[in-house]
Amino acid sequence: MKFHSVNIFPCGLRLLVAFALLGVVWTVYGDALPDGELATKLESLRQTQLKELCPGTAEQLIARTVVQTTLSLHYNYQPFTPQLSSQWFQGYFEMLDSNKNFFLQSDLDEFQEVADTLFIQNSRRVQLDFPYQVYLRFLERNREYVLFCADELFRPQDFTVDESLPGSRKAEEMPWATTVAELHDRWRRLVKNTLLSDALTQEQLAKEDGEKNAKPSRRREDVRVRTVRSLISSFRVRTEANSMDILEIYLNAFLQLFDPHTSYMAPESKEDFDISMSLSLQGIGATLSWKDGYTTVSNLVPGGPAARDGRLKPGDRIIAVAQSADEEPLDVVGMKLTRVVQHIRGAKGTEVFLTVLPEGSGDVMIYRLVRDQIVLKDSEAQLFEHQVPVDGWDRLARVIQLYLPSFYSDFGARDRGDKNYKSTTTDLKRLLYEALETGPVDGVILDLRGNGGGSLDEAVALCGLFSGNVPVVQVRNQQDGVRLMRASRRVPIYTGPLMVMVDRNSASASEIVAACLQDSERAVIVGDCSTHGKGTVQSLIDLREQPQLAKSQALLGKQEPGSLKLTFAKFYRINGGSTQERGVEPDIIFPSFLEYTETSEKNLPHCLPWDEIKPVNYASQTELRKHLVKLQGVASDFMTHDPGFSEYATEVEAYRQLRELKELPLEINARRDYRSRDHHSVQMIRRFQPKRPKEEDEEPEILKSDEEMLLEKEQLPQEDVVLNASLAILGEAIKLNQEDDNAFSIK
């Protein structure tokens, strides 16, 4: 688990000292942990008897079923070998402590004798003593860490020393500490980073107050005291893990060796999964996953609070949660995902404060969000109309932008035979017909940016709206059986110039649509250097229905076994190539902030590789793509000469350079520079992200975090320069399409 104490609580009481800003030792106020409540809690923690949990028959049955089912049914078949067992052994330690801040190499060495035999195939028995013993050691190391930090936080700190803290990705590549002294040095730097980050935040706020000749906006408890409180609270939460919690972590360390999307969900996790799939959910509108001990944002629900706010994005890691600006944030690093979700979810209109480690950033931010009701309507297709100038025309071209946040379908209504059931295809048909009835449509943009996928059937049907009865995608299973899916619509609704916009967050069903329309030459694809690259299919298996457990209900007792999400198939384009790992490469590529984040499929550990199968017979549908070189020229000219796009490209390059930094400086001047660049990049990413509809209702005035106030001070209006460039390219495509039609009519 990435126990990132890094900058967890950057907002706090303005320190009651005069900081010398250059070349001197910085000393925080106070030199000892105050007596009283905290001292009592720390002594209680020191005396706590840690109890090792013991797995029972139910846990053994569940573990055996998960391992055997995966070995026999997973798409990426591989036998259980000593090498696979050794990877499982290592993966479990890394899942508990991926930043290598707790375990020593000697801890791994002590358990090495079982590394090659975590599953005995002859007896079909999973080694379960090992994970529970290791978790006990993890708690011991975690307690040592809390006690060390409680002391170190109140020691003088020298911020003029040229040293740094490894970034999270560099930390993952580091070896385990070999000595206690080496481990303590890592802890010392984490503490120093927390204090330095807070000091810089308070310095900036004090400067703001001075410029405004205003009183400090608020006073809060000393960051050191709050950090100690949080560390104690987090340790207590980890000691409350039950037997199934540990089993879930252990089994997922095994399952991740097959691919990133296969996972085991204990009963509590399955319950939360069911809630997240509901069409109505009160929360922030984000799908969360548990990755390397972090609660990580997978995607945002279109129209939800997080999407409307615009700061939280896929890949960001939530490391603490508070219910108000004055509440002590709860450290959630390493906490079971279902419990984190319980803290984030809440009634409509209430607020939640998330301490976030942005993807690719070294400094954390605190985002205040107001919970809302998340409903299917927020993910519906939407239409926007644009007037685009075309050379030689005496009127503006009418371009329809169809923004599609997801591929949705009301399966219940469909199964009941309701002909008017809600779905992506029915909504798009309605929007297209309505647009065509009000006048000529010269061009259409299908905007799939940020679309994480959804219903495969809807993706296939959507292609039919623009192409008619065409092959769309091939699906191959573990036995190499291939099924071809094709659109059933005989006649397309719209046959004119078509453009598809994608980005790195366009995944799964979005990639199928883009790939089909590209391979059949029906549309020009524009966007990031590639889409997400998720070309696998998962199925949810209720373990109660598995034969080996169905026969052993008496041995399970009251213990529910949970569910297994298993990858069982893979998508392939009609040209034979997979959408897995590589995604879809657009015909015209724009620079993008997302290109320098590590949020695509290829960045996930153990992702399945790209490969190809036999292509299907398909025909080209339009002459438009023969003009691709001309359209690429228009794109290049726009990116070079448009002032807004030039500024955007400059900011993307600055972000690339920032991402190349592997370490977080702990020297004050270097950190000021890093912090300034980092905060600027957050502003620019938010400024240039696609414009999306926002609620008109004003939110009540709520006390905001220090970082939120600093960021909003220089917030600039959003500008969708990528859409502007796409409209210019489509304008040229419309002209070329008309010239082709005229030439044809002359013949």
Tens digit of each residue's pLDDT (9 = 90 or more) over 548-588: 888 888 888 889 999 999 999 999 999 999 999 999 999 99
pLDDT value at residue 1: 34
pLDDT value at residue 419: 74
Total Cβ atoms within 10 A of residue 348: 12
> Is it the case that residue 172 has pLDDT exceeding 90?
no
Q: Looking at this protein, which amino acid is placed at residue 36? A: G
> Which H helix or E strand runs over 476?
strand 471-477
Q: Could you tell me how far CA 263 lies from the centroid of its own chain?
A: 16
More confident call, 509 vs 329: 509
pTM of the model: 0.86
Q: How many whole angstroms separate alpha carbon 9 and alpha carbon 218?
A: 15
- The mean per-residue pLDDT over the stretch 620-629 comes to 80
- Cα first-last separation, the chain: 69
Q: Which position has the token pair 């906490």?
A: 335
636, 588 Cβ separation under 8 angstroms: no
pLDDT value at residue 717: 67
Q: 122-131, 364-373, 410-419: which has the minimum mean pLDDT?
A: 410-419
Which tokens sit at 14? 């303005």
pLDDT value at residue 298: 81
Q: What percent of the chain has pLDDT over 70?
A: 85
423, 465 Cβ separation under 8 angstroms: no
Which tokens sit at 517? 């329309």
> Is it the case that residue 511 has pLDDT exceeding 80?
yes
Q: What are phi and psi for residue 300, nearest 5 degrees?
A: -110, 140
DSSP letters along 104-149, please? BHHHHHHTGGGTT-SEETTTTEE--HHHHHHHHHHHHHHHHHHHHH
DSSP 8-state class, residue 29: S
Helix, strand and coil content of the chain, in percent to the nearest 5, comes to 45, 15, 40
Helix axis angle, 180-212 to 668-687, nearest 10°: 70
Instruction: Read off the pLDDT band of 740 (50, 70, 90).
Output: confident
Burial of 47 (0-12, 13-18, 19+ CB in 10 A): exposed
User: 200-251 pLDDT, tens per residue?
Assistant: 988 887 776 666 655 554 445 688 988 898 899 889 989 999 999 999 999 9
Q: How many whole angstroms separate alpha carbon 425 and alpha carbon 59?
A: 45
Nearest partner of 725 among 647, 651, 655, judged by Cα: 647
User: 17-69 pLDDT, tens per residue?
Assistant: 323 333 334 444 445 566 688 899 999 999 999 998 999 999 999 999 999 99
The overall average pLDDT reported for the chain is 85
Nearest partner of 519 among 616, 406, 633, judged by Cα: 616
Q: How many whole angstroms separate alpha carbon 506 and alpha carbon 530?
A: 9
Q: How many whole angstroms separate alpha carbon 495 and alpha carbon 145?
A: 64
9, 194 Cβ separation under 8 angstroms: yes
Burial letters 708-721, b for 16+ CB under 10 A, else e: bebbeeeeeeebbb
219: left (phi over 0), alpha (psi -120 to 50) or beta: beta
> Is it the case that residue 409 has pLDDT exceeding 60?
yes
pLDDT value at residue 561: 94
pLDDT value at residue 291: 74
Which tokens sit at 679? 């905060």
pLDDT value at residue 361: 67
> Is it the case that residue 8 has pLDDT exceeding 70?
no
Q: Which position has the token pair 């303590």?
A: 184
Q: Could you tell me how far CA 554 lies from the centroid of its own chain?
A: 40
Sign of the C-alpha dihedral computed for residues 155, 158, 164 and 168 taken in this order:
positive
Q: Could you tell me how far CA 405 lies from the centroid of its own chain?
A: 16
- In terms of DSSP bridges, do strands 397-403 and 382-388 run parallel, antiparallel, or are they unpaired? antiparallel
User: 361-385 pLDDT, tens per residue?
Assistant: 667 778 888 888 766 555 789 999 9
163, 233 Cβ separation under 8 angstroms: no
Q: How many whole angstroms separate alpha carbon 133 and alpha carbon 103?
A: 13
> Is it the case that residue 745 has pLDDT exceeding 50?
no
pLDDT value at residue 548: 84
Residues contacting residue 235 through CB under 8 Å, at least 6 positions apart:
45, 139, 142, 143, 146
> Is it the case that residue 739 has pLDDT exceeding 80?
yes
95: left (phi over 0), alpha (psi -120 to 50) or beta: alpha
67, 119 Cβ separation under 8 angstroms: yes
pLDDT value at residue 6: 31
Q: Looking at this protein, which amino acid is placed at residue 739? A: E
Q: How many whole angstroms separate alpha carbon 560 and alpha carbon 111?
A: 30
689, 310 Cβ separation under 8 angstroms: yes
pLDDT value at residue 332: 84
663, 164 Cβ separation under 8 angstroms: yes
pLDDT value at residue 629: 95
> Which H helix or E strand runs over 542?
strand 536-542
Q: Looking at this protein, which amino acid is placed at residue 63? A: A
User: 422-466 pLDDT, tens per residue?
Assistant: 899 999 999 999 999 999 999 999 999 999 998 999 999 999 999
pLDDT value at residue 375: 60
pLDDT value at residue 340: 85
Instruction: Read off the pLDDT band of 334 (50, 70, 90).
Output: confident
Q: Which domains are delineated in the chain?
A: 39-45+55-258 (no CATH), 376-547+554-642+724-746 (3.90.226.10)
pLDDT value at residue 110: 97
More confident call, 304 vs 544: 544
pLDDT value at residue 393: 95
Burial of 579 (0-12, 13-18, 19+ CB in 10 A): buried
Instruction: Read off the pLDDT band of 154 (50, 70, 90).
Output: very high
Residues contacting residue 701 through CB under 8 Å, at least 6 positions apart:
none
Burial of 554 (0-12, 13-18, 19+ CB in 10 A): exposed
User: 459-507 pLDDT, tens per residue?
Assistant: 999 999 999 999 999 999 999 999 999 999 999 999 999 999 999 999 9
Q: How many whole angstroms separate alpha carbon 289 and alpha carbon 305?
A: 18
More confident call, 410 vs 591: 591
Q: How many whole angstroms separate alpha carbon 297 and alpha carbon 475?
A: 28
By residue count, the chain amounts to: 747
DSSP letters along 145-192, please? HHHHHHHHTTS---TTS--EEE-HHHHHHSPPBSSHHHHHHHHHHHHH
